[in-house]
Amino acid sequence: MVTEKQVMDILFQCYDPEIPVNIVDLGLIYDVAVNDNAAVITMTLTTPGCPMHSQIAANVKDSILKIPGLTTVEVKMVFDPRWNADMITPAGRQALGLPDQK
């Protein structure tokens, strides 16, 4: 059986092509749900008009489908709550050279 941890491990390897930080550390992943052989990823983008929308969603889906036993992946793009820089993890902030949050 596929686990949420397996899916998250893959998501840590997915990147926004314009930002050198994985989408998890950017704070773009809102939820991961796995049920039997299906996964639903609820995520956002740094901006609703992101020109890389389709490429990022396809990369997420294609990467997760490589998990043995997984046959269905749905990527839900949402913009509520709207992404902001406070959602970046400490690891992401460090990779981007941003100061730590207080």
DSSP one-letter code for 87: G
pTM of the model: 0.93
Quick one: 51 exposed, middle or buried, by C-beta within 10 A (0-12, 13-18, 19+)?
A: exposed
Domain 4-82 has CATH 3.40.50.300: no
Report the pLDDT averaged over residues 51-57: 92
**Structural domain boundaries in the chain:** 4-82
Closest CA to 81 of 38, 34, 35, 27: 27
What's the pLDDT score for residue 102? 65
Confidence of residue 55 (pLDDT cuts 50, 70, 90): very high
% pLDDT > 70, the chain: 99
Residues 28-51: tens digit of each pLDDT: 999 999 998 999 999 999 998 888
Closest CA to 76 of 99, 35, 36, 45: 45
Closest CA to 82 of 25, 43, 33, 41: 43
